Amino acid sequence: MTANSRCSAAEPPGLETQRREIESLLRECELRAGDSWYVVEHRWFEQWKEFVDGGDQNSSSFPGQIDNSDLFEDLDSYHLKERLVENEDFVLVPAEAWHKLLAWYGMVDSQPPLERKVVDLPSTLKVEVYPVEVFLCLHSNMENVITAQFSRTDNIQSIQRAMCQSFSVPSGSECRLWMKSSDTNCERLRNIHMSVLDTCLSSGMTVIMETRNADGTWPSSRPQIMRNSVEDQDSYRGQPGVCGLTNLGNTCFMNSALQCLSNTPPLTEYFLQSSYLEELNFTNPLGMKGEIAEAYADVIKQMWSGRHYSVVPRVFKTKVGHFASQFLGYQQHDSQELLSFLLDGLHEDLNRVKNKEYIELRDADGRPDQEVAEEAWRNHRRRNDSVIVDTFHGLFKSTLVCPECHKVSVTFDPFCYLSIPLPVSKERVMEVFFVSLDPHAKPVQHRVVVPKAGKVSDLCLALSEMTAVPPTQMVVADVFNHRFYRIYSDDESLSCILDRDDIFVYELSVLEEQDQVLLALYLRERSHYRDYGSGSSSYGTTLFGHPLLLNVRRSSCTQHTHTFDLSWRKRRRRMTKRSCTGLRPMASVMVSSAPAAPSFSCCCCCCYSHQNVSLDQLSGLSSHLARCVSSDEQQEAADELRPSQTELSCSETSTNSRSDDTATAAPPPDINHKQPSLDREEEKEENKQEEACSPSPPPNEQPAKRRACHKRRKSLFTIQAVNSNGTTERGTGEGGSAVSFSSQPYVAIDWDPDMKKRFYNENEAEKYVKHSSMEVPQQQATVQLQECIELFTTVETLEEENPWYCPVCKKHQLATKKLDLWSLPEVLIIHLKRFSYTKFTREKLDSIVEFPLRDLDFSGCLLRKSLSNGEPPSCYDLIAVSNHYGGLRDGHYTSYAMNKDNGQWYYFDDSKVTFATEDQIVTNAAYVLFYHRQDKMRKPTLANPSTGPAPSRSANDITSCKDDDAELGAASYVTMETD
């Protein structure tokens, strides 16, 4: 019997039986999502009902073959008419009833059966009479469009199969679909297992299919021509995998991790063979909807196409930042942290377990290790089954012992990589500058060894052994940007001081009085113009040079009239004789704890008070200025206020960086000046020289005129009270209120710019000498990888921040913990813990870890000394290394990796790739090591290339769309930027 024939091999049942069976099916059949129902023309069904109700087989009301002609717009396309109404234009019958009617009456020739699916709409079940009708086309030829209908319950994979069949796409081609929701924008149909209803695909929309290019990219990565056009492939043909990664801005950490994973053979082959497409897990709540796996696959396929010098991993970077906010932006991060996130993300995106069951973990309770380990691994695989687990996961044994009740808890836990510690020295080498009280001594750079957990007093004690200065006469400060960033107390921890800080240790004078103040002294240069914009009449100032610290008697600073002896006699010897009488440095000082500001003035050329604030108290200032003020040989002024033609150029050399730029300068010769005694006779002699140097006034010049001329002479500098930043507080300008000595006092010497240029030698001020300790080369610590692994398995006591809850004691205990290796993965990742972050310290260990390139044997480290039949050996060969250069605050990541196809080592530095030799790999920059188990390694399939230098590869060589394509206009292409 044919489907469209009324005749059948067996006669249909009686009319009453037909009526009863169909009515029963219509009455009892319920709508269930996914079931099929059929559309029957209402007029034909009503005539059938009349026929069976009459009970006459020969009645003229016989309906004939099922005919739905009235439901179609035309009989060529059999497109259903719009706005048909149920029970007026058609009726719906369940599949079983339809097949009975079709068997009894047949169907008009060539008419298709109108099968419709039951869809589960929000809050209701409904037969979709009108399915989704969409337009289908290929991305390479978007003018060739066909129309197809799909049920809302169909998945996207059914559309993909229909398109592959309709457009003759070769089998095995990797393709993906886009849903065109507007004229120019498309949305990726990422999950091919989702239904049409869930993807919001509706009638009238277009579905575009694209297939991956030979170079690993997708056509949608740039605008494509709708006409039949074929892209010119890049002419470059290189070794697959030997491809750089463009630095997008501090993304070297990401590039380093990607290069290491890219050269991990089992993982790369898994993606190159597109095995991931069948294992993408879009429903895993712990995953990233398959987006991380797809973004990683795109990068790998481009890198291993052999058609790129360098790849721009912009989409991958965006996806990582979307799912891990810590990697948003363009700050520097840790390659191991990125690697940890990526391996976990790939695992969850590719987890073959769709519904994770709850498993209650059991303690060993005295059971054999083998039994507990096998149980733990089975439980792990019941919830975690992916290529990441197959390749990178191992098992270690964790043993905890309660210090009180001695309860022993044994568990076996999986791991994806081993983070092993490096031996840490208990000592620390610090470089500091010592500023002596000697007026002519330059700062001396010392290298001292101190306890790593020591205090600032330990630093002073170590420096005292080199300088013979008692540690009680030292104060330690951090100098930054010409000011004191921090002044340390003796009991502060040395962990507060970082290696890059500029640390100065100042020698202090000994005062008999107990009531003394540590005075901080800054050097500032006044501007030529007053700062009218700030609402004050004071001058603007700029810090320069090195600040000073000195002891001052507190009691002397509370008096209203005292002279500051700035040891002008010493400075005068460094200046010209003419200038010594022409300059009158007036010191307007406001450094009192009294409510009113005392004004101190000093005519330093003729006033020598050794009382109160004396030379002994301000010896630090004296020595600094004695070294910095220009000498007689450097200053030969033609007259007292005109700069000399032979004057040295003293340009400002300071910067805003905290780096020690002076450390690279050659140390000047250490000139030891003999300090002359300042006795009465010498003082008289100097006064005579001053009189000789001074121009004689005309006989008829009046004393008042001489005083007025004397008043107009410029002062060399003034002294001002400031805050810790070196700025004058509002209201404490010249003649303002005083700064209280109840806190750390700060004073600034404000130089007149013209006077500073003439008489302050900045080159001399910046000089320093190196102590012999700086010439001793620092020993580079070297450890063996085996030592680090043994340290990893050493018994340790838990920290107070991470105690263990003892089930016997019913409280948290600082138990002892021991880790042992039980089973190792195919690819073993070893993370060297170079960065140490604790509550009190932060440091990077630059020790050289000697790790083998071949035959790394773990048989002595495994807890199981004998392997059962079928278990793999424990020998590994190195395949990749992630390197970190620099310190804690900054640095750069690169990588070494061995190509799986030719066995050649390469050095990857962002977009640059060069050949590498095995003797270059072991350095103190090695950070993350990748080892491949020997039984899984395959021999290279290609000959090893020449070991000569390979040409650097740049991301600028990436080809882009031709200009000819752009001339076709914006309407000729569609951009898919939402990927």
Measured from the Cβ of residue 959, the count of other Cβ atoms closer than 10 Å reads: 15
The Cα–Cα gap between 25 and 17 comes to 12
Residue 779: DSSP 8-state: P
Closest to 618 (Cα-Cα) out of 742, 749, 487, 717: 749
Compute the distance between CA of residue 95 and CA of residue 113 in angstroms, rounded to an integer: 11
Neighbour-count burial of 282, counting CB atoms closer than 10 A to its CB (0-12 exposed, 13-18 middle, 19+ buried): middle
* Token representation of residue 753: 């710019």
Burial class for 38, CB neighbours closer than 10 Å (0-12, 13-18, 19+) = buried
Name the residue with tokens 């369940």.
Answer: 94
Q: Of all helices (H) and strands (E), which one includes residue 750?
A: strand 746-751
Pairing of strands 36-41, 115-121: antiparallel
- For residue 589 the two structure tokens come to 């000082």
Residue 467, classed as helix, strand or coil, is helix
Q: Is 892 a catalytic residue?
A: yes
Q: Which of 725, 717, 721 is nearest to 748 (CA)?
A: 721
* Helix H or strand E segment including 138: strand 132-138
CA distance 721 to 655: 24
Backbone angles phi, psi at 254, to 5 degrees: -70, -40
C-beta separation of 535 from 605 below 8 A = no
Q: Give me the DSSP letters along 759-812.
A: HB-HHHHT--EE-GGGGSPPPPPEEEHHHHHHHHTS-EEPPTTS-EEETTTTEE
Helices (H) and strands (E) in the chain, counts: 21, 39
Cα atoms in the 13 Å half-sphere on the side-chain side of 236: 20
User: Rounded to an integer, what distance in angstroms lies between the CA atom of residue 956 and that of residue 891?
Assistant: 24
Catalytic residue among 137, 175, 186, 252: 252
Q: 585: which residues sit within 8 A by CB, 6+ positions away?
A: 566, 568, 602, 604, 715, 716, 717, 718
Closest C-alpha to 242, from 257, 263, 214, 270: 263
**Count of beta carbons in the 10 Å neighbourhood of residue 167:** 17
Q: For residue 484, how many other CB atoms are within 10 A of its CB?
A: 22
How far apart, in whole angstroms, are the C-alpha atoms of residue 334 and residue 345? 17
CB 796 within 8 A of CB 693: no
Q: Is 589 helix (H, G, I), strand (E, B) or coil?
A: strand
N-term to C-term CA, the chain:
53
Q: Alpha helix locations (H) across 698-771?
A: 703-712, 753-759, 762-765
CA angle 373, 379, 384 (to 5 degrees): 120
**Interatomic CA distance for residues 273 and 286, integer angstroms:** 25
Strand partners, 943: none
What is the rounded CA–CA span in Å between residue 920 and residue 896?
9
CA 263 to chain centre: 22
Q: List all residues 6 or more positions away from 876 whose beta carbon is below 8 Å from its beta carbon.
A: 828, 855, 856, 858, 931, 932, 933, 934
User: For the chain, percent helix, then strand, then coil, each to nearest 5?
Assistant: 25, 25, 50
- 440: tokens are 């002519």
Over the Cα atoms of the chain, what is R_g? Answer: 44
Amino acid at 93: V
Check if 709 is active-site: no
Residues labelled as active-site residues:
252, 892
